[in-house]
Amino acid sequence: MKISKKILLILMVSAALISCSQKKLISIPITYTQPYCGGARPSEEILAEAAKPKPYSNKTIIIVSQKGKVDSLKTDATGVLKTNLKVGTYKLFEPWRYYKKADAGMKVSDFDLTCLKTEWMKEIKELTITKTETKILDKNEIIERCPWSLPCILEGSKPPARE
């Protein structure tokens, strides 16, 4: 009788541990906007089209768990990030922000470092996953800016704008 109680207790604890460590399939749509960067005065239609969110297709996203575990994932052709995650809180970053680099392949020395440090802290989304639900909090949108309008860029480092 004592053995069967012990076995039952072990099975219950094992089941609880397994359910806590189970992962949930998460699908997160990732989008970006890109302002008009052409030289001619744009029409209202061109500006409206530029302001529409577009799928962030085939791009790398950095995901950081609340425990500091880091992983990189790639969005699919439709801009959706699919992954299995355990219960917890996660932050999603653009790679240049997470790895503390400059945007658009420029050098960090072309930017105001104090301003850039603030930019590096900006996550795209925050995920909170519980056993019963997944909450996705949009934090900062991805904007693929024109080279001359990058945030924090020093005046002497700006490339010329199109005319």
Give pTM, 2 decimals: 0.82
**What does the pLDDT read at residue 87?**
95
Strands 125-129 and 88-93: antiparallel
Q: How far apart, in whole angstroms, are the C-alpha atoms of residue 104 and residue 111?
A: 12
Domains and CATH numbers, the chain: 23-157 (2.60.40)
Per-residue model confidence as pLDDT tens for the chain (163 residues): 566 766 666 666 555 555 556 899 999 999 999 999 887 899 999 999 999 999 999 999 999 999 999 999 999 999 999 999 999 999 999 999 999 999 877 899 999 999 999 999 999 999 999 999 999 999 999 999 998 889 999 998 888 776 5
**What does the pLDDT read at residue 158?**
86
**Cα-to-chain-centroid distance, residue 52:** 18
Please state, as a whole number, how many other Cβ atoms lie within 10 Å of the Cβ of residue 34.
16
Structure token pair of residue 69: 């575990």
Asked whether the beta carbons of 86 and 18 are under 8 A apart, the reply is no
